[in-house]
Amino acid sequence: MKTGTGLSEEYLRFDLASFLDQLRGLKSIGGHASGIVASHPILTVRMKALLWFEMSEAARRLNGTGTHGLALERVDKRVESLLEEATGQMLARVRAESFSRAAMWAVLFAAVSDGVFSKEEQAGIERLYGRPAVQSALSYVRENGPGKVGIQFEDAIREVRFHPETGRREFWQRLRNDLSTLGIEESQFGRVLTIVEDRLGLAAQRH
């Protein structure tokens, strides 16, 4: 609050409980979608996140106040949920669009990685994403060649990289399921899964 107002303690008479109660009002009106483009989450969200972190096992270990507390993963999930509510579920919509786009480019990249976009691969993409998607993919490959697909693939995966770890892992699993139904060589989609795992920072966490 000192940072936000520029005032010293002499002028601040702050009721934390009342301030945080504003979150209930925000939730009751369905959040505020403009929060998705803000440079920082609103102050009430950040304060709530700090309070949860203070109750975490990691914070108490750092402060020397004990070793028992909330698991940091649980705190992260609470904060993610709070951000969703504060932005009117806009984050969920952005995530869904980002994941769908990335999955389609990843599948197309896997399909054309051998330099050929076969009828079987086209049929697989149609099963996964519909006829309009396969028509767009065909047009793109004809106009730009298979090599350009890799650039679009990398750009789309880069967007997924900014989402929370739980979402990135869900995306990887979804992609694995999509690729397994495409009907291509296991080595082709296995290579793509490895690339995605690396780009999303999941391989390092697993090891």
- Work out the average pLDDT over 99-123: 90
Asked if residue 75 lies in contact with residue 57, where contact means CB atoms within 8 angstroms, the answer is no
Give residue-wise pLDDT tens across range 63-96.
888 778 888 888 888 888 887 777 766 777 788 8
Give Cβ neighbours of residue 167 (< 8 Å, ≥ 6 apart): 95, 99, 160
The full DSSP string for 168-180 is HHHHHHHHHHHHH
Say what the pLDDT of residue 154 is.
Answer: 94
Give residue-wise pLDDT tens across range 160-205.
988 878 889 999 999 999 998 887 777 778 889 999 999 999 875 5
Say what the pLDDT of residue 80 is.
Answer: 82
Of 2, 4, 43, nearest to 23 by C-alpha is: 43
Q: How many residues does the structure list for the chain? A: 207
Cα separation, 173 vs 201, in Å, equals: 14
Q: What is the pTM of this model?
A: 0.65
Asked if residue 86 lies in contact with residue 26, where contact means CB atoms within 8 angstroms, the answer is yes
